[in-house]
Amino acid sequence: MAHHNKEVIYGLYDDETDLLKAVKEAKDLHLDIMDVYSPFPVHGLDPILGLAESRLHIAGFVYGSLGTLTAFLGMTWVFTKDWPVIFGGKPYWSVPAFIPITFELTVLFACVGMVITFYIVCGLGPGVTNVYLDDRITDDKFCIAFDTATVDGAAAKSFLTKTGAEVNHKVI
Amino acid sequence: MNQYTFSGTAKTVTIGAMIVGVVSMLLTWFVGADDLQSRFWSNFLHNGTFFLGISMMAFFFIAVCVTAYAGWASVFKRVWEAMSAYMLFGFIFMIIIALATYFHWNHLYHWADAAAVAEDPILNGKKSFLNPNWYLFGTLIIVGTWVAFGRKMRSLSLAEDNDQGVDFAKHRSMRKWSAAFLPIMGFSSAAMIWQWLMSVDAHWYSTLYAWHAAVSWFVSMICLTILLLIYLKSKGLYKQVTTEHMHDLGKFLFAFSIFWTYMWFSQFMLIWYANIGEETGYFLHRREEYPVLFYANIAVNFLIPFFVLMRNDTKRKLGSLAFVSIIVFVGHWIDFFLMIKPGVKITRDGHGHGDAAAHGADAAHGAHEAVGHGAHEVAASTFEIGYTIPGLLELGTMIGFLGLFIFVTLTALSKAPLIAKNDPYLDESLHHHT
């Protein structure tokens, strides 16, 4: 994440139900939320924030299909063209024997591919320094952050106080 | 609306289906008959075990949810309770088959022939399990136990409705009964599947067979649950059953279809790989003589639920759920067909008591019925309607059993409020989100 010298006003809530309530209220007041942080996925948050459905699973399907093809065609090539070996009197092209490996490679490709895609999309990974607002959002606090460039600072502060958050601000 | 009344079209249709079933079974007995009545008895066994298993699995799933503290399904658990009411009828049907086996009215099982067992070392070795006495008394004891557990749980659930305070004593009692039922069901269902279904091929055995058949039951049960809920919702009932509940049922349908494939393939691949004659015969025979059903079984029961239900939104839409449920339900019925019929046919032909004239008459019947499919097929191969593929009489019998199943289910459903209002997990279920 690049540095923009943003001044961020954020509130820390003790409970995810408080967070959900506050996000709903902020939406009703048309306060533009910069982002919401929580130590774990909060159920029902995505639709309230109006986030689009993740397309990660489509990528997963593509990677999985790639794994299926790699395994199946790879084994087909190896056992019929490159180095045909007779195993237990079975034909070279023994489809049932290929299925378990095809399955494993499908799962492997889908998982590893999705993890890598997720890291790239989220800007995570080794060597990347991410700025985060507060240590406690990785522990037990739930956070709503406002960017003062888009939201009036005073309004954000009064909103956070009113909904029971511990208000802080930080320049990132 | 917390009360279902079973009347009107639903009653007419289910009774009509039962009449179709009775007529089909009578026709099978009198018209499509061979001298051993194997077609009639194998249809009876096929549908008797299939629907008994479905209702047992409905009860099993209640027991699983109670034991696992799973509350999501509490809102519609009455549907499963109602489905498990059919266990009593399935019990009666299996007793009829067991009596018929005991008194040699049928010849479904090679091992029931004492003379054949005496000169066959393999059947002789299995005699302690595969004999008419145990078949009858095992069915009586084990299915009787299932029925007793089912009725006990149902009565506890109904009694819970009348509770005034919140002491959850009934639920605690249910928890004990459920926990006791799970291991009993685990072992006894396997024993029943071995003796009812696997012993049709008396020489052959497979350790995975029982799981494969039990998962078939389970998937079919989920299909019927989805279809029944969609029907009840279309009547304006069960408004509390939301997309979230249907989504979870869809996940079960998806996951257990894959699990079924896993079972089917594991069984197939180990036997294919080891290639031991007495094991391979089972699959070789099915692949050579029943190629369409053999491959369709996998395609229908794996590929369709896998690709259709893979996406999130197809599991949440009633249309796609109903589509997959109907296809997979028929698919698993065909899976049972393929488990039973080939073995029955071999037993019938290998040990026919009838003379050549009787068999000649059979062939004429077969040819007559198969006219629509082209007589040359009948002449060229061992094609026989009712064995090689399900004929109209098989479909009619299935419709009859299905009609009875739905009739019993809806009758039981109409006898109690649709929502068990004192279930401790009801609130959780009403607010279920996936």
* pLDDT tens figures, B310-358: 988 899 999 999 999 999 999 999 999 999 999 998 888 875 443 333 3
Which pLDDT does position A171 carry in this prediction? 85
Interface confidence (ipTM) of the complex: 0.81
Nearest to A97 among B273, B310, B312 (CB): B273
Q: How many CB atoms lie within 10 A of CB B149?
A: 22
- Which of residues B400 and B114 earns the better pLDDT score? B400
Q: What is the pLDDT along chain A (172 residues), one digit of tens a residue?
A: 455 678 889 999 999 899 999 999 998 888 888 889 999 988 888 888 888 888 999 999 999 999 999 999 999 999 999 999 888 889 999 999 999 999 999 999 999 999 999 999 988 888 888 777 888 888 999 999 998 888 888 888 999 998 988 888 888 7
Q: Which residues of A touch B265 (CB under 8 A)?
A: 96, 99
Measured distance CA(B365)–CA(B363) in Å, rounded: 5
Measured distance CA(B316)–CA(B245) in Å, rounded: 9
What's the pTM?
Answer: 0.88
pLDDT band per the 50, 70, 90 thresholds, residue B365? very low
CB contact under 8 A, A97 and B269: yes
pLDDT tens profile B99-144: 999 998 888 899 988 888 888 898 999 989 999 999 999 999 999 9
The minimum CA-CA distance between B62 and chain A, rounded to whole Å, is 26
pLDDT > 70? residue B4: yes
Which pLDDT does position B72 carry in this prediction? 93
CB contact under 8 A, B269 and A57: no
Measured distance CA(A30)–CA(B221) in Å, rounded: 48
A32: left (phi over 0), alpha (psi -120 to 50) or beta: beta
Measured distance CA(A6)–CA(A149) in Å, rounded: 7
pLDDT > 80? residue B367: no
Q: Which residues contact B87 (CB under 8 A, 6 or more apart)?
A: B52, B55, B56, B59, B143, B146, B147, B150
Q: Give the percent of chain B with pLDDT over 90.
A: 69
Q: Which residues of A touch B298 (CB under 8 A)?
A: none
Residue B4 three-state SS: coil
Residue pair B32/B393 in contact (Cβ under 8 Å)? The answer is yes
Q: Which residues of B touch A88 (CB under 8 A)?
A: 273, 275
Q: Which residues of B touch A43 (CB under 8 A)?
A: 433
Measured distance CA(B108)–CA(B101) in Å, rounded: 8
Which pLDDT does position B74 carry in this prediction? 93
Q: Which residues contact B334 (CB under 8 A, 6 or more apart)?
A: B293, B296, B297, B300, B390
Q: Which residues of A touch B258 (CB under 8 A)?
A: none
Q: What is the mean pLDDT of residues B354-382?
A: 41
Closest-approach residue (CA) in chain B for A97 = B269
Q: What one-letter code names the amino acid at A34?
A: M
CB contact under 8 A, A88 and B272: no
Q: Which residues contact B252 (CB under 8 A, 6 or more apart)?
A: B222
Measured distance CA(B333)–CA(B216) in Å, rounded: 8
CB contact under 8 A, B275 and A44: no
Q: Which residues of A touch B275 (CB under 8 A)?
A: 88-89
Which pLDDT does position B32 carry in this prediction? 64
pLDDT > 90? residue B259: yes
Q: What one-letter code names the amino acid at B161?
A: D
Cα angle for residues A52, A55, A61 (degrees, 5° grid): 160
Partner A contacted by B272 (CB < 8 A): yes
Q: Which residues of A touch B272 (CB under 8 A)?
A: 96
B105 half-sphere exposure, CB direction, 13 A CA radius = 11
Partner B contacted by A30 (CB < 8 A): no
Tokens 């089972």: give the residue: B282
pLDDT > 80? residue B306: yes
The minimum CA-CA distance between B192 and chain A, rounded to whole Å, is 30
Partner B contacted by A57 (CB < 8 A): yes
CB contact under 8 A, A43 and B268: no
pLDDT tens profile B56-92: 999 999 999 999 999 999 999 999 999 999 999 999 9
Partner A contacted by B269 (CB < 8 A): yes
CB contact under 8 A, A97 and B312: no
Q: Which residues of A touch B273 (CB under 8 A)?
A: 88, 90, 96-97
B330 to B18, B249, B268, B299: CA distances (angstroms): 18, 18, 21, 12
Which pLDDT does position A56 carry in this prediction? 92
Which pLDDT does position B165 carry in this prediction? 75
Partner B contacted by A61 (CB < 8 A): yes
The minimum CA-CA distance between B282 and chain A, rounded to whole Å, is 17
Nearest to B433 among A44, A97, A100 (CB): A44
CB contact under 8 A, B310 and A61: yes
Measured distance CA(B278)–CA(B282) in Å, rounded: 8
Q: How many CB atoms lie within 10 A of CB B239?
A: 8
DSSP string, B218-251: HHHHHHHHHHHHHHHHHTT--TTS-HHHHHHHHH
Partner B contacted by A123 (CB < 8 A): no
Partner A contacted by B303 (CB < 8 A): no
Nearest to B265 among A61, A89, A99 (CB): A99
Closest-approach residue (CA) in chain B for A58 = B311
**Exposed / middle / buried, residue A169 (Cβ in 10 Å: 0-12, 13-18, 19+):** middle
pLDDT tens profile B199-258: 999 999 899 999 999 999 999 999 999 999 999 999 999 999 999 999 999 999 999 999
CB contact under 8 A, A96 and B269: yes
Residue pair B338/B229 in contact (Cβ under 8 Å)? The answer is no
Query: Among B143, B26, B35, which Cα is nearest to B93's?
Result: B143
Mean pLDDT taken over chain B: 88
Q: What is the mean pLDDT of residues B156-164?
A: 89
